[in-house]
Amino acid sequence: MTQPAADRFELVTIRLPIAWTFAALVAGLVLGLVLSNTAAIETIVGISAPVGTLWLRALQMTIIPLVASLLVLGIVQMTAAARAGAAARRFVLLVFGVLILSGLITAVLMPMLLAAFPIPASANGLLGTAPDGEQVLPGLADFVTSLVAPNIIAAAAETSTLPLTIFFAAFAVALTRLPDTQRMNLLGFFHATANAMLVVIGWVLFLAPIGVFALALGVAATSGTGAFTALGHYILVVSAMGGVVLLVAYLVAWLLGGIGLLTFARSVMSSQAVALSTQSSLASLPAMLDSSGRLGLRNSTAEFVLPLAVAVFRATSPAMNLAVAIYVAHLAGVELNPAILAAGIAVAIIISIGSVSLPGSISFVVSVGPIAMAMGIPIEPLALLVAVEMLPDIMRTVGNVTMNVAVASVVDRVNTGAEG
Confidence band for 419, pLDDT divided at 50, 70 and 90: low
DSSP state of 139: P
Give mean pLDDT, residues 29-50.
80
Element counts in the chain: helices (H) and strands (E)? 18, 0
Q: Please state the domain extents for the chain.
A: 15-128+138-419
- Looking at the chain, the whole-number percentage of residues with pLDDT higher than 70 is 84
Give the pLDDT confidence score for residue 133 in this predicted structure: 47
Most confident of 109-123, 279-293, 302-316, 397-411: 397-411
Give the pLDDT confidence score for residue 169 in this predicted structure: 83
Q: Is the pLDDT of residue 316 over 90?
A: yes
Give the pLDDT confidence score for residue 13 in this predicted structure: 57
Backbone angles phi, psi at 20, to 5 degrees: -65, -35
Q: Is the pLDDT of residue 348 over 70?
A: yes
**DSSP reduced 3-state for 252:** helix
Q: How far apart are CA 283 and CA 273, in angstroms?
A: 11
Q: Is the pLDDT of residue 106 over 80?
A: yes
Q: Is the pLDDT of residue 180 over 60?
A: yes
Q: In CATH, what is the architecture of 15-128+138-419?
A: Orthogonal Bundle (1.10)
Q: What is the mean pLDDT of the chain?
A: 82
pTM over 0.85: no
Give the pLDDT confidence score for residue 162 in this predicted structure: 77
Q: Is the pLDDT of residue 33 over 50?
A: yes
Q: How far apart are CA 143 and CA 128, in angstroms?
A: 29
Lowest mean pLDDT among 48-57, 84-93, 393-402: 84-93
Most confident of 45-54, 59-68, 149-158, 179-188: 179-188
Residue 205 contacts residue 361 (beta carbons within 8 Å) = yes
Give mean pLDDT, residues 44-63.
82
Give the pLDDT confidence score for residue 131 in this predicted structure: 47
Give mean pLDDT, residues 260-268.
95
Give the pLDDT confidence score for residue 265 in this predicted structure: 95
SS (H, E, C) the chain: CCCCHHHCCCCCCCCCCHHHHHHHHHHHHHHHHHHCCCCCHHHHHHHHHHHHHHHHHHHHCCHHHHHHHHHHHHHHHHHHHHCCCHHHHHHHHHHHHHHHHHHHHHHHHHHHHHHHCCCCHHHHHHHCCCCCCCCCCCCHHHHHHCCCCCCHHHHHHCCCHHHHHHHHHHHHHHHCCCCHHHHHHHHHHHHHHHHHHHHHHHHHHHCHHHHHHHHHHHHHHHHCCHHHHHHHHHHHHHHHHHHHHHHHHHHHHHHHCCCCHHHHHHHHHHHHHHHHHHCCCCCCHHHHHHHHHHCCCCHHHHHHHHHHHHHHCCCCHHHHHHHHHHHHHHHHCCCCCHHHHHHHHHHHHHHHHHCCCCCHHHHHHHHHHHHHHHCCCCCCCHHHHHHHCCCHHHHHHHHHHHHHHHHHHHHHHHHHHHHC
Q: Is the pLDDT of residue 328 over 60?
A: yes
Lowest mean pLDDT among 132-136, 272-276, 291-295: 132-136
Give mean pLDDT, residues 153-170.
79
Give mean pLDDT, residues 207-218.
85
Give the pLDDT confidence score for residue 6 in this predicted structure: 43
Confidence band for 312, pLDDT divided at 50, 70 and 90: confident
Confidence band for 356, pLDDT divided at 50, 70 and 90: low
Confidence band for 129, pLDDT divided at 50, 70 and 90: very low
Give the pLDDT confidence score for residue 247 in this predicted structure: 96
